[in-house]
A and B are shown apart, each in its own frame.
Chain A
Amino acid sequence: MSTVTEVANGIGQSVRRPDGIPKVKGEFAYSSDMWADGMLWGATLRSPHPRARVLSIDIAAALAVPGVFAVLTHEDVPGRKTYGLEHHDQPVLAFDEVRYQGEPVAVVAADHPETARYAASKIEVAYEELEPLVDPEFALSDASPPLHPGGNLLRHVYIEHGPEPGEADVVVSGEYEVGMQDQAFLGPESGLAIPAEDGGVDLFIATQWLHVDRDQVAACLDLPLEKVRFTLAGVGGAFGGREDVSMQAHACLLALHTGRPVKMVYGREESFFGHVHRHPARMRYEHGAYADGRLAWVRARILLDGGAYASSSSAVCSNAASFALGPYVVPSARIDSYVVYTDNPPCGAMRGFGAVQTCFAHEAQMDKLAAALDMDPVQLRRRNAMETGSSMPTGAPINCPAPVDELLRLVHERPLPEGDGAVPGGVANVTRGEGVVRGVGYAVGFKNVGFSEGFDDFSTARVRLSEVRGEPLVEVHTAACEVGQGLVTVMAQIARTELGVENVLVLPADTQVGSAGSSSASRQTHMTGGAVQAACRAVREEWEGRGAIGDGIEATREYHHRLTQKLDAKGQGDAHVTFAFAAHRAVVDVDTELGLVRVVEIATAQDVGKAMNPLAVEGQIEGGIAQGLGLALMEEIQVVDGLVRNASFTDYLIPTILDMPPVELDVLELGDPDSPYGLRGIGEPPTISSTPAVVAAVRAATGRELRRVPLRPDDMIGL
């Protein structure tokens, strides 16, 4: 049953999104657009302090505000008082202590959002302020006050790869820092909870993983799973920021308490406090190499600030270790990766997940090494490029295509862009070219696809074939979250190809079908695509056996990727399913008098295994590069003494259409031996090596070391 039917709008074609038309008409229902008769609005009171004891909470004045229906605190959480992806360490509503600025303390439901916010401001909380623990290095020391019962070390991953580092002809070292980046999805956290007649609740929610949200919320509500039903509402982007629960439990609590539908919608400022961010990192690297450019050994120490709660920190820490060396053959390495609790904002998943931070560091090191060896930086990278069969520092071989050398060759051989008269800073800059310097930089990176370290990752699809007015119709039902990436398009393409039926309907994602796993880790087309493929093949077999559709044929199938292993005490194990690679070349113009950068062009090459939808592949690559460019040049949540200084789009800058250059693309399709159609996840690699490529270009233009991102104007002036 491996035959693939030629059908219009099947896999490999640039099929247009089924939700494109409602989205351009303004009719697509995002989570913030949900509405129900008699609906109330929820609001959240958050801690103004990064660390304090909660002495008392007085809700009387808030309850007395006309239009208020409920004011709830931790005492009103009937079930488990905490939640979390890997550790249940985060309070639904604060009880003994608050551990970061913006931690939810109480929630209100009222008949108008402004009334709810006003009432929340009338809640009187007595705090005893404590000295916040904001330095991750101090958090690592025994002298720091433990913020959680197990202490402040959330995880330490040690990798011992090859013999002890020894001789080298050249040694370069450096310290690097990555600031706290925000996912900055445009559709803020929101949802509508509707109490049900059976005592349960239905939640319409924008998320990345319905089942894991549902499981956490059901435990907090003390309800059986079948009474907590989640349906995906329209998602306005995610990028990792919706892996953790935000307002899910709060809206459900308020709905169950009031007996009325309750909608919660965060504003932008609240959104900055409402989700986890990319871990800030401090990294110390030492690279030893032979005179001919071959790497001899690497030592790396990585310290990630996990913030107040665990979220997915331990997996990020492990990823940072696994990908610390970059896609290079390194005979010997010693890697320590730490993540600690602090009173800074909680950090967790964001596109690139640990590999972004270390890629910035290892690529800076490769450039430094090239300079020390007097070698071309691309030549140095190509000489050390990983290939299929190369060993990961975790000991396992790379089994999939690993075209590192080819990707570098492609971006290197592209013609360089000419000057077009534009200058950094745009029309406001009066320079006629004086003080403007051009630079070109390269970087390459890689990352795991799917969940690692022994997690039995799977997705479920239910496919039903029926006849409607004499025509076959396929319905695809999964719990997989369309977050903008185009999964709804590709699921339909797979069904068309497998069943030869053009008319395919992708049903809304909900918890009435088995888990699809998370729309993260570049995994969803691979995993849910695999489940849809398997379910379609089962339907097709039945159809061919019967010779007729009759009253319909239905099949539900799970797709599991191959099992992986946990890492042992020396960081060894076959921990990852498969890998995705990309390379970038950035060309920049730097105004060295004003400290302004204009990215002139990004060239990239990426292996996608199989381009299921070429137009969507391009969109993922271009969009991912924009986020990488943002981290290089502008994006940082500034936290001072545990307080966020820039929780708005006025002060937290993301790239505009003026900041993004044209992207020149080479897409390789080197089929993966172990995935449906040979496809390989595409979402994250564009964000990983684009940042170091931009920084390398600025470095080339200015000669500065540039050891921290995002770059600041001061880093580039006064040459």
Chain B
Amino acid sequence: MRLTCVVNGEPREIDGVWEGESLLYVLRERMQLPGSKNACEQGECGSCSVYLDDVLVCSCLVAAGQVEGRTVTTVEGLAPTEDELHPIQAAFVEAGAVQCGFCTPGLIVATHDLLARNPSPSDAEIREALAGNLCRCTGYEKILDAVRSAAEA
């Protein structure tokens, strides 16, 4: 099938999409946007978090066809320019919140969503908001630091 949507502000038209493909697969394998990660393929780990229109979703759980005519924003679409980082991205680097980094893109999109809704979250609110994003390396302490610091920025 043909899929027409807007991804990171750019209109995209992709041919040859198989109906069984997820949004995550199309982003990674057909749009050269591998930033969203596939770590569980069942919506448990949050590594594939993106915005569909303005709603935070696990792109592995969205069928490609559901995206027809809609807008997607991925981790690649958050920075203001190619050479700059979004303040949340900068905060993750600075706080040491990145180790292997496989969970990082999803956490950054989820943090972006949290801070858009709640610009100064408490620790409990941060934990609640990011509870759907698994990280196996950091123990989350530095991720909390990063979110706190991004909220202050």
The CA of A114 and the CA of B26, in the complex, are separated in Å by 13
B51 lies within 8 A of chain A by Cβ: no
B118 lies within 8 A of chain A by Cβ: no
Closest chain-A Cβ to B140's Cβ sits at a distance in Å of 4
**Which residue of chain A has its CB nearest to the CB of B130?**
A657
Instruction: Mark contacts of A596-639 with chain B using CB atoms, 8 A cut-off: 1 yes-contact digit, 0 otherwise.
Output: 00000000000000000001101101111111000000000000
Is the CB–CB distance between A485 and B131 below 8 Å? no
Is the CB–CB distance between B94 and A649 below 8 Å? no
Is the CB–CB distance between B96 and A26 below 8 Å? no
B residues 70-122 in Cβ contact with A at 8 Å: 74-76, 79, 85, 89-90, 92-94, 96, 98-105, 108
Is the CB–CB distance between A648 and B44 below 8 Å? yes
Question: A236-B39, A615-B96, A657-B144 given as contacts; is B75 within 8 A of A663 (CB)?
Answer: no
Among B41, B93, B130, contact of A267 (Cβ-Cβ < 8 Å): B41
B residues 32-91 in Cβ contact with A at 8 Å: 32-42, 44-45, 47, 74-76, 79, 85, 89-90
The CA of A427 and the CA of B127, in the complex, are separated in Å by 12
Instruction: Mark contacts of B12-39 with chain A using CB atoms, 8 A cut-off: 1 yes-contact digit, 0 otherwise.
Output: 0000001011000000100011111111
A484 surroundings in chain B (CB, below 8 A): 99-101, 137
Is the CB–CB distance between B138 and A623 below 8 Å? yes
A interface: dominant SS: loop
Could you say which of B34, B79, B98, B100 has the most chain A C-beta atoms within 10 Å of its C-beta?
B100
B37 surroundings in chain A (CB, below 8 A): 30, 32, 186-187, 236
A650 surroundings in chain B (CB, below 8 A): 42, 44
Binds B, one of A17-25, A160-168, A245-253, A363-371: A17-25
Is the CB–CB distance between A237 and B102 below 8 Å? yes
Instruction: Mark contacts of A5-34 with chain B using CB atoms, 8 A cut-off: 1 yes-contact digit, 0 otherwise.
Output: 000000000101101110111111110110
Is the CB–CB distance between A186 and B45 below 8 Å? yes
The CA of A627 and the CA of B99, in the complex, are separated in Å by 15
**Which residue of chain B has its CB nearest to the CB of A22?**
B101
A112 lies within 8 A of chain B by Cβ: yes
B151 lies within 8 A of chain A by Cβ: no
How many B residues touch A, CB cutoff 8 Å?
57
A654 lies within 8 A of chain B by Cβ: yes
The CA of A1 and the CA of B116, in the complex, are separated in Å by 54
**Which residue of chain B has its CB nearest to the CB of A628?**
B139
**Which residue of chain B has its CB nearest to the CB of A651?**
B44
Is the CB–CB distance between A658 and B92 below 8 Å? no
**Which residue of chain A has its CB nearest to the CB of B103?**
A186
Question: A26-B74, A26-B76, A186-B100 given as contacts; is B141 within 8 A of A618 (CB)?
Answer: yes
Is the CB–CB distance between A656 and B131 below 8 Å? yes
A693 lies within 8 A of chain B by Cβ: no
B136 surroundings in chain A (CB, below 8 A): 183-186, 237, 239, 623, 626-627, 654
The CA of A483 and the CA of B102, in the complex, are separated in Å by 11
Closest chain-A Cβ to B40's Cβ sits at a distance in Å of 4
B28 surroundings in chain A (CB, below 8 A): 33
Is the CB–CB distance between B139 and A236 below 8 Å? no
The CA of A625 and the CA of B135, in the complex, are separated in Å by 13
**Which residue of chain B has its CB nearest to the CB of A686?**
B139
Is the CB–CB distance between B139 and A623 below 8 Å? yes
**Which residue of chain A has its CB nearest to the CB of B109?**
A26
**Which residue of chain B has its CB nearest to the CB of A625?**
B139
The CA of A426 and the CA of B124, in the complex, are separated in Å by 10
Is the CB–CB distance between A660 and B139 below 8 Å? yes
Among A33, A268, A619, contact of B142 (Cβ-Cβ < 8 Å): A619
Closest chain-A Cβ to B132's Cβ sits at a distance in Å of 8
A42 lies within 8 A of chain B by Cβ: no
Closest chain-A Cβ to B117's Cβ sits at a distance in Å of 17
The CA of A35 and the CA of B79, in the complex, are separated in Å by 24
A residues 643-667 in Cβ contact with B at 8 Å: 648-650, 654-658, 660, 662-663
Question: A14-B96, A24-B92 given as contacts; is B42 within 8 A of A186 (CB)?
Answer: no
Is the CB–CB distance between B93 and A16 below 8 Å? yes
Interface size class of A (residues with CB under 8 A): 35 or more
Closest chain-B Cβ to A652's Cβ sits at a distance in Å of 10
B interface: dominant SS: loop
Among B35, B128, B139, contact of A663 (Cβ-Cβ < 8 Å): B139
B143 lies within 8 A of chain A by Cβ: yes
A507 lies within 8 A of chain B by Cβ: no
Could you say which of B34, B94, B139 has the most chain A C-beta atoms within 10 Å of its C-beta?
B139
B3 lies within 8 A of chain A by Cβ: no
Instruction: Mark contacts of A250-271 with chain B using CB atoms, 8 A cut-off: 1 yes-contact digit, 0 otherwise.
Output: 0000000000000001011000
The CA of A625 and the CA of B136, in the complex, are separated in Å by 11
Closest chain-A Cβ to B33's Cβ sits at a distance in Å of 8
A622 surroundings in chain B (CB, below 8 A): 138-142
A19 surroundings in chain B (CB, below 8 A): 98, 101
A235 lies within 8 A of chain B by Cβ: yes
The CA of A377 and the CA of B96, in the complex, are separated in Å by 35
A416 surroundings in chain B (CB, below 8 A): none
A486 lies within 8 A of chain B by Cβ: yes
A188 lies within 8 A of chain B by Cβ: yes
Is the CB–CB distance between A185 and B131 below 8 Å? no
Closest chain-B Cβ to A377's Cβ sits at a distance in Å of 25
Closest chain-B Cβ to A648's Cβ sits at a distance in Å of 6
A186 surroundings in chain B (CB, below 8 A): 37, 39, 45, 47, 100, 102-103, 134-136
Among A14, A114, A422, A619, contact of B124 (Cβ-Cβ < 8 Å): A422
B44 surroundings in chain A (CB, below 8 A): 648-650
B85 surroundings in chain A (CB, below 8 A): 21, 24-25
The CA of A27 and the CA of B37, in the complex, are separated in Å by 11
Is the CB–CB distance between B39 and A623 below 8 Å? no
Closest chain-B Cβ to A685's Cβ sits at a distance in Å of 14
Is the CB–CB distance between A23 and B98 below 8 Å? yes
Is the CB–CB distance between A187 and B102 below 8 Å? yes
Question: A23-B98, A186-B102, A648-B42 given as contacts; is B137 within 8 A of A619 (CB)?
Answer: yes
Could you say which of B34, B93, B136 has the most chain A C-beta atoms within 10 Å of its C-beta?
B136
The CA of A626 and the CA of B144, in the complex, are separated in Å by 14
Give 17 A-B contacts (CB < 8 Å), ordered by A residue: A16-B93, A17-B96, A20-B98, A25-B89, A26-B105, A32-B34, A32-B38, A186-B37, A238-B100, A239-B136, A485-B99, A619-B137, A622-B138, A622-B142, A623-B138, A656-B140, A658-B127
Binding site for B on A (CB under 8 A): 14, 16-17, 19-21, 23-30, 32-33, 35, 112, 114, 183-188, 234-239, 265, 267-268, 422, 426-427, 483-486, 615-616, 618-619, 621-627, 648-650, 654-658, 660, 662-663
Binding site for A on B (CB under 8 A): 18, 20-21, 28, 32-42, 44-45, 47, 74-76, 79, 85, 89-90, 92-94, 96, 98-105, 108, 124, 126-128, 130-144
